Amino acid sequence: MTQDALTGWDDETTAEAYAAFTRAFPMYSASSRDLAARARLTDSHVIVDLCGGTGATAEAILALAPPDARVISLDNAPAMQRIGRRTLDDPRLSWVTARAEELAEHTPAGGVDAVVCNSAIWKTNVPSVFAAVRRVLRPGGRFVFNVGGGFAGVTHPAAQARPASASLGSLIEQIAVRDYGAPPAPPSGVPQLPLTAVASYLAAAGLTLAEADVTAQHTTMAERRAWLSIPVFARPEGGFSYEQQMSILQEAYAQTRPDHVTITSWLVVVAQLDGLQA
């Protein structure tokens, strides 16, 4: 598991950089709109933005939710939420600082209509979070989240069809090995959260798998560079300072075209609590 899964989010520099990225590039806003649409929020009254960060997904939810709906953005990094409060001011939105696993302790007694989680479910204790979602979700409610293609072990056909080219990540690794004596990254192992595991965890929690799609997200090298400039995402890991990471990133980026489009794959999952369940 990479360092950003566990540490670094409760930091003003990271929070500011992350929020700036979400405003400047479409990666998080586009995926947030997709997840919010899949949640079918037309008749929802209470919606949770799980691991909500600075509010990119909450903003997409608010755009689709009814005028009288309440949105709860729950995240365990106070710095991220401080930035979010400054940039997203809506009376329907409340900010709760807590771990995703503690969801049931911070939602109304009557339950919620939908839970949406963008790009973060893999960072949690997944079985515990699924169980918490089951406890708070009203019958017929939806739980919508996504998992990066590498963690899910999926590749969109559009990505498979494109000619192979070096990614910024692979160029960074090559430079780190060549110029800094870093050990080569180990081969990719077994996916951490494939659909089979997701389905098993959902079933154990008492949730029904309703949809599972593999989607493609198109990003430019310029966008990937900006993303890798956010401190928690900076590479390579293992004893490198942020200044060294940025120097390596700049050298790798110089070997690419800023407008070159890459495709990243995502597993998008929709689960629900069947209407007849109590």
Residue 111 carries which side chain, given as an amino acid letter? G
**Does 33 map to a domain?**
yes
Q: Answer whether residue 180 shows pLDDT above 50.
A: yes
What is the average pLDDT value for the chain, to the nearest integer? 93
Distance CA 216, CA 158 (A): 7
**Does 23 map to a domain?**
yes
Mind listing the pLDDT tens digit for each residue in 22-34? 999 999 999 999 9
Contact 107, 48 (CB under 8 A): yes
Check which CATH number belongs to the domain holding 110 and give it. Answer: 3.40.50.150
Distance CA 132, CA 61 (A): 20
Sign of CA dihedral 53, 55, 56, 61: positive
**Does 173 map to a domain?**
no
Mind listing the pLDDT tens digit for each residue in 215-271? 999 999 999 999 999 999 999 988 899 999 999 999 999 999 999 999 999 999 999
Distance CA 220, CA 225 (A): 9
- Of the chain, the percentage scoring pLDDT greater than 70 comes to 95
**Does 112 map to a domain?**
yes
Number of domains composing the chain: 1
**Does 49 map to a domain?**
yes
Q: Per-residue pLDDT averaged across 95-105, rounded?
A: 97
Mind listing the pLDDT tens digit for each residue in 124-155? 999 999 999 999 999 999 999 999 999 999 99
CA atoms within 13 A on the CB side of 27: 25
**Does 198 map to a domain?**
yes
Provide the pLDDT confidence category of residue 2 given band limits of 50, 70 and 90: very low
**Does 31 map to a domain?**
yes
**Does 213 map to a domain?**
yes
Identify the domain containing residue 14 by its residue range. 3-153+189-217+264-272
CA atoms within 13 A on the CB side of 275: 1
